Amino acid sequence: MIRLLLPLLTLLVAFTSSASSGTWSLDKAIVGATSNQQLPVELEDGPFHIKATLNLHRLGGTAAGIRIGDSLLFGFDARNGSLFVEGRAVGRTKLLDAPNPLEANKAFAFNVRRDADNRTSFSLDGREVFTTDKLTGPVDHLTIRPLRNRMDVMALTVSGSLRHPSNEVIVDQSIIPLLNDGSDLALLDLNIRVKEATTLKSVRLSFAGTTDTKDIRKLTLFRNTSANQRRTDQPTTVSSDIQSTTTLAANLPLKQGSNHFWLAVQITPGADLMHQVTVTVESVALEDGRTMSPPSTSPSPMRLAYAIHKQGQHNCHTFRIPALTKANDGSLLAVYDMRYNSARDLQEHMDIGLSRSTDGGQTWAPPVPIMDMGEYGGKPQKENGCSDPGILVDTQTGEIIVTACWTHGKPNTHQWVGKGSEPGHEIGVSTQFMAVRSSDHGRTWSQPENWTQSIKDPAWYLFAPAPGNGITMSNGTLVIPTQGRDANGHPFSNITWSKDRGKTWHVSSPARTNTTECAVAQLSDGSLMLSMRDNRNRHLKDHTNGRAVATTRDLGETWQKHSADHGLLPEPVCMASLISTTLPDGRHVLLFSNPRDKHHRRNMTIQLSLDDGKSWPQQRHILLDEGRGYGYSSLVMIDAQTIGIVYESSVADMTFQKIPLADFAIPQPAQSAD
């Protein structure tokens, strides 16, 4: 057993802060700690180095470790004796392959180093055992976690951009859709940092820029145990009398350092979807009469939204894969996968469902299945799944066609992988290309039609509709985006078109290979643009990341690469939506939506282009949801002034929002000289 020649007083934790040299050191050793010890040091974003000499009194699945902020815990002693990591930076608990060199009651060197490229390495006794590039941003605490162990910290030094204790208010606000169903949603996160323990008396909020404060039914301030871990079991103050300036009374103890809260909002059920909420934290008041204010900012508005589906509603686990259109009578139709048992893809029990709105999207009728293959062939419904709907309105006749793919049999397969779908046309061998039709604006639907034999090349492994919306061209040609796997099993994107009102269909050549889900729109010169999800973007994370974009003047017989290809429209590899419209002054406009991020399905954004997609200026981007979701979306023009979007958001499976076209800061047309 290690004997530390220190007086008994060192059993108490003692810390000091060194001079402002960017280094903090533990003043006296911590001996035999059995409870969490949070060190009074925080780090700004950027490189840092944590150097420690530690000792564990025993090994045997104690899960002892050191927590680096709220993002990562490095564990020394998992149940199987291995090293492990867990937390937001790594997802689920990950057992490390590196052998565990630690022995009970034997001191070891522990080093954590983050470089300028956000690469963080962890080493034990000079040997690297784990690296990650996900530990980013400031570190607001370092915590020794003995858990079921006893730990000695004989030495510990932290170097980097230190954040010394101070009095400040930090507001973190992420834009999300605010559902008008009365549920609690996060309006902002609040970190009140104080040099000494005190009491919070009130928080003063401004709602300047909010359309109507009556849209806000209730505000609740919740206390968190740490950053990024919102809890709902500790409400601290509630207000249902919301004015343009609102003060939330409180009487809450604040400890030295960081104190984390989050502000929840409930939107009045049925509130107008064209409204928005803007909130600013003006100040917080402390018990001694002092007030503190966060740095002045220009907060972004959050738009109200309608939840077409939340997980578990309508006796269905998950809705996924939206497609949206407007019928000739003005009603809005949203179709999607109804995934009854789980969120997983085919093969599973799922139907194509429909929600219909007759008031511009303010309310939606309950979902109904419109393509359901039941127990075809004597197989259970989980072996007769339909998925990936596309929707098309023939604007000349009013007929609506919904396409989807159907897999029969083949349990535990996926149509895009291996033999999940195979060459040929046979049901049960190849995934089928299906369609249903409506001639009464989506009120009733035909029985499913099987188009597979008439349009699929039998050499191909798969041919399927691309989810989203098809179009009626200005000359009346019907076009739907499609996708498949060729005779070698390689993915491609193309279009399928009809000149006889959907009686017969013709399949174009591929616009690109190693691409899949795609969206089609007509450009100002009558040609077609195809925007494609590109598998190459799984690895391309530099300036070459972006949607594959091609155009055609001959319905896909030949294709040309567009100037926006791989550069202007970043993507994390995900479905996207593309539509076109004409402004009252005659200018042609493209609208595009996707998770605008190279790495994750987050930052759902609508972008507008006035030059057939050659540029998508930042000032004509509208961010709807910074959170993570599945990220699929579909756009529609509700009327000449209003855009509608249904998408898989961070707060609901299927979310609908309305955005005025005027919000895109479209410049006035240039005036010609007389």
Condensed to tens digits (0 to 9), the pLDDT of residues 9-45 reads: 222 233 333 334 489 899 899 999 998 887 878 888 9
DSSP state of 246: E
Q: Give the span between the Cα atoms of 578 and 532, in whole angstroms.
A: 10
Residues 354, 449 share a domain: yes
Q: How many domains does the chain have?
A: 3
Which residues constitute the domain of residue 229? 168-300
Confidence bin at 671 (pLDDT 50/70/90): low
Whether 6 shows a pLDDT value over 80: the answer reads no
Instruction: Please report whether residue 672 resides in a domain.
Output: no
Report the alpha-carbon distance of residue 480 to residue 478 in Å, rounded.
7
Active site residue 517: yes
How far apart CA 242 and CA 262 sit, in angstroms, is 17
Collapsed DSSP state (helix, strand, coil) of residue 419 = helix
In the predicted model, what is the mean pLDDT of the chain? 92
Quick: pLDDT tens for 432-483. Answer: 999 999 999 999 999 999 999 999 999 999 999 999 999 999 999 999 999 9
Tokens of 480: 């739907």
pLDDT at residue 420, as a whole number: 97
Amino acid at 241: D
Q: What is the mean pLDDT of residues 632-652?
A: 98
Q: Report residue 636 as tokens.
A: 């529609």
- pTM for the predicted model, two decimal places: 0.83
The pLDDT tens digits of the residues spanning 224-250 come to: 866 666 777 777 888 888 999 999 999
pLDDT tens, 521-550?
Answer: 999 999 999 999 999 999 999 999 999 999
Residue 531 to residues 278, 425, 456, 508, 568, Cα–Cα distance (Å): 34, 28, 22, 15, 11
Quick check: helix, strand or coil at residue 608? strand
16 in any annotated domain: no
Are the C-beta atoms of 307 and 178 separated by less than 8 Å?
A: no
Residue 514 belongs to a domain: yes
C-beta of residue 530 within 8 angstroms of C-beta of residue 518: yes
Residue 674 lies in a domain: no
Residues 125 and 251 in one domain: no
**The domain boundary residue, chosen from 270, 300, 330:** 300
Same domain, residue pair 366 and 460 = yes
| Per-residue model confidence (pLDDT) at position 312 | 97
Whether 517 shows a pLDDT value over 50: the answer reads yes
Residues 399 and 534 in one domain: yes
Cis peptide before 483 (omega within 30 of 0): no
Percent of the chain with pLDDT over 70: 95
Q: Confidence class of residue 672 from pLDDT cuts 50, 70 and 90? A: low
Please identify which of the residues 42, 348, 517, 571 carries the catalytic annotation: 517
Same domain, 135 and 56: yes
Q: What is the DSSP letter of 177?
A: -
Residue 673 within any structural domain of the chain: no
Considering the domain boundaries, does residue 320 fall inside one? yes
Give the whole-number percent of the chain exceeding pLDDT 90: 82
- What would you measure as the largest C-alpha separation in the chain, in angstroms? 95
pLDDT of residue 288: 87
Q: In this structure, what CATH number is given to the domain that contains residue 83?
A: 2.60.120.200
Residues 467 and 531 in one domain: yes
- Domain finish residue from 245, 268, 300: 300
Confidence of residue 89 (pLDDT cuts 50, 70, 90): confident
Question: Other CB atoms closer than 10 Å to residue 335's CB: what's the count?
Answer: 32
Domain shared by 584 and 512, yes or no: yes
With beta carbons less than 8 A apart as the criterion, state whether 62 and 149 touch: yes
Neighbours of 360 (CB within 10 A): 17
Pairing of strands 151-163, 142-145: unpaired
Indicate if 158 and 200 belong to the same structural domain.
no
- Are 59 and 192 in the same domain? no
**Polymer length of the chain:** 674
Q: Which residue has the tokens 């596309």?
A: 390
Residue-wise pLDDT tens digits, 416-433: 999 999 999 999 999 999
Strands (E) in 535-664, as ranges, are 548-552, 560-561, 577-582, 588-595, 604-609, 621-625, 633-639, 642-647, 654-660
222/270 same-domain check: yes
Q: 10 Å Cβ neighbour count for 106?
A: 11
Q: For residues 68 and 52, is the Cβ–Cβ distance under 8 A?
A: no
Q: What is the CATH number of the domain that holds 224?
A: 2.60.40.1290
180-207 burial code (b ≥16 CB/10 A, e <16): bbebbbbbbbbbbbbeeebebbbbbbbb
DSSP-derived 3-state class of residue 211: coil
Same domain, 516 and 584: yes
> What percent of the chain is helix, strand and coil (3-state, nearest 5)?
5, 45, 50
pLDDT in tens, 363-393: 999 999 999 999 999 999 999 999 999 999 9
> CATH number for the domain including 546?
2.120.10.10
Write the single-letter amino acid at 437. Answer: R
pLDDT (mean) for 493-516 = 98
At 673 the pLDDT is 53
Pairing mode, if any, of strands 302-309 and 178-179? parallel
User: Is a pLDDT exceeding 90 seen at residue 174?
Assistant: yes
The per-residue pLDDT for 228 is 60
From CA 454, how far away is CA 452, in angstroms rounded?
A: 6
Same domain, 194 and 157: no
**Distance between CA atoms of 138 and 48, rounded to whole angstroms?**
10
Structure-token pair, residue 113: 């180093």
Residue 240 maps to a domain: yes
CA atoms within 13 A on the CB side of 402: 37
3-state secondary structure of 420: helix
Confidence band of 70 (pLDDT split at 50, 70, 90)? confident
pLDDT digits (tens, 9 = 90+) for 191-225: 998 988 999 999 999 999 999 999 999 999 998 86
Assign 549 to helix, strand or coil: strand
Domain boundary among 238, 273, 300: 300
Instruction: Retrieve residue 12's tokens.
Output: 């108490």
